[in-house]
């Protein structure tokens, strides 16, 4: 579930990668920033709270570098509840030994299969 804004009418913030014109991802190591084909090494930003749109525009104007924000697929960030199928932050999911459950589904008792009428 994307981070909610403090403003009720504002949509939730989303996670994004930054990509260059060749489709490479922005990454960082101890030597600094660089672009890579390795998506696993890519930096992940919060689109609104990190002001990604504004920073991309500024870099384009001042440095002439074309960059784009690429949304991170939710399944790569969040865990899915096996019962309700909603997305949750990994720290919110509980594994009961068989299923991954969100806090609400964990509190609800499991659905029992319907009993068939007893034959007389």
Break the chain into its structural domains and give their ranges.
Answer: 15-75, 78-107
Whole-model pTM: value is 0.63
Sign of CA dihedral 91, 96, 101, 107: negative
Rounded-to-10 torsion of CA 84, 89, 94, 95? 90
What average pLDDT does the chain have? 85
Reply yes or no on whether the pLDDT at 49 is more than 50. yes
pLDDT above 90: percentage of residues in the chain: 57
Reply yes or no on whether the pLDDT at 97 is more than 70. yes
Rounded-to-10 torsion of CA 56, 61, 66, 67? 0
Least reliable range by pLDDT among 4-8, 55-59, 71-75: 4-8
What is the Cα–Cα distance from 56 to 20, expressed in whole angstroms? 10
The confidence band for 38, taking pLDDT boundaries of 50, 70 and 90, is very high
Instruction: Tell me which of 53 and 119 has the higher pLDDT.
Output: 53
At residue 108, φ and ψ (nearest 5 deg) are -80, 140
The per-residue pLDDT for 34 is 96
Reply yes or no on whether the pLDDT at 55 is more than 50. yes
Over residues 68-90, the pLDDT tens digits come to 999 998 778 788 899 999 988 88
């Amino acid at each position: 579930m994307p981070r909610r804004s403090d403003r009720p009418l504002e949509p939730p913030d989303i996670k994004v990668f930054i990509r260059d014109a060749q489709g490479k991802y922005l990454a960082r190591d101890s030597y600094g920033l660089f672009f890579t084909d390795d998506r696993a090494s890519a930096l992940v930003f919060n689109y609104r709270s990190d002001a990604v749109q504004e920073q991309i525009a500024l870099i384009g104007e001042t440095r002439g570098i074309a960059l784009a924000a690429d949304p991170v697929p939710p399944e790569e960030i969040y865990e899915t509840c096996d019962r309700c199928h909603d997305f949750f932050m990994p720290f919110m999911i509980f594994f009961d030994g068989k299923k991954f459950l969100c806090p609400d589904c964990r509190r609800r008792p499991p659905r029992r299969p319907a009993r068939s009428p007893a034959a007389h």
